[in-house]
Amino acid sequence: MHIGSEQNRRKAARVARIRRLLSGVGIALGIVWALPLTFLGILLAMPILARRGELRLVHAPIPALLVSGPLADFMLERHPFGAMCAMAVGHVVIADRQGLTPQILTHELAHVRQASQWGFVFPFAYLAASGWAVMRGRDAYWHNVFEVAARKAERHA
Ligand SMILES: [Zn+2]
């Protein structure tokens, strides 16, 4: 019936509006919740930006700031966990200028999402996940559940 379908359409539009609003609130809460980490990321980004660095806003479902530059390349090559192409600190992604591929960006955005879900507890949860992997005789990085999830996101990029 025509009236029925009109009511259904309105109801669906209302549900979609509420869902959009909730997802917006969720993203905003995630940003606030991860703020201590993002602040640390901004502290790391400042010297990079001061030395011919570049800042870009990534318009992903969960937004991120992408920072790169000669100093970022230098820092990532000498990362204490081994050379890497990129790393996420809260909503800040610090990336190598040569090595950043769409897959790596997707991987890092998965870590941004994890940080927005776990907030400032994330680094501790991450280390605990590495510890858990080592306790089971596995690799601290490769078998860390957060890395496994980020690699999975990468494959769907
Ligand atoms: Zn990772």
Domain extents for the chain? 34-155
Residue 19 has pLDDT above 60, yes or no: yes
Q: What is the mean pLDDT of residues 62-83?
A: 92
C-beta atoms surrounding 4 within 10 Å:
8
Q: Residue 11 C-alpha to ligand 1 middle, in angstroms?
A: 41
- The two tokens of residue 12 are 């669906």
- Decide: 154 and 103 in contact? Cβ < 8 Å: yes
Beta partners for residue 88, in sequence order: 93
User: What is the per-residue pLDDT across 96-140, written as a single tens digit (0 to 9) for each?
Assistant: 999 899 999 999 999 999 999 999 899 999 999 999 999 999 999
Q: Which amino acid makes up residue 49?
A: L
Q: Residue 28 C-alpha to ligand 1 middle, in angstroms?
A: 23
Q: Which amino acid makes up residue 70?
A: P
- The two tokens of residue 140 are 């601290």
- The two tokens of residue 96 are 């190598």
Q: What is the pLDDT of residue 93?
A: 97
Q: Residue 55 C-alpha to ligand 1 middle, in angstroms?
A: 21
* pTM for the model: 0.83
- Decide: 104 and 157 in contact? Cβ < 8 Å: no
Q: Residue 50 C-alpha to ligand 1 middle, in angstroms?
A: 26
Q: Residue 111 C-alpha to ligand 1 middle, in angstroms?
A: 7
* All residues with CB under 5 Å from ion ligand 1: 147, 150
Q: Residue 125 C-alpha to ligand 1 middle, in angstroms?
A: 14
Residue 2 has pLDDT above 70, yes or no: no
Residue 143: band (very low, low, confident or very high) from pLDDT cuts 50, 70, 90: very high
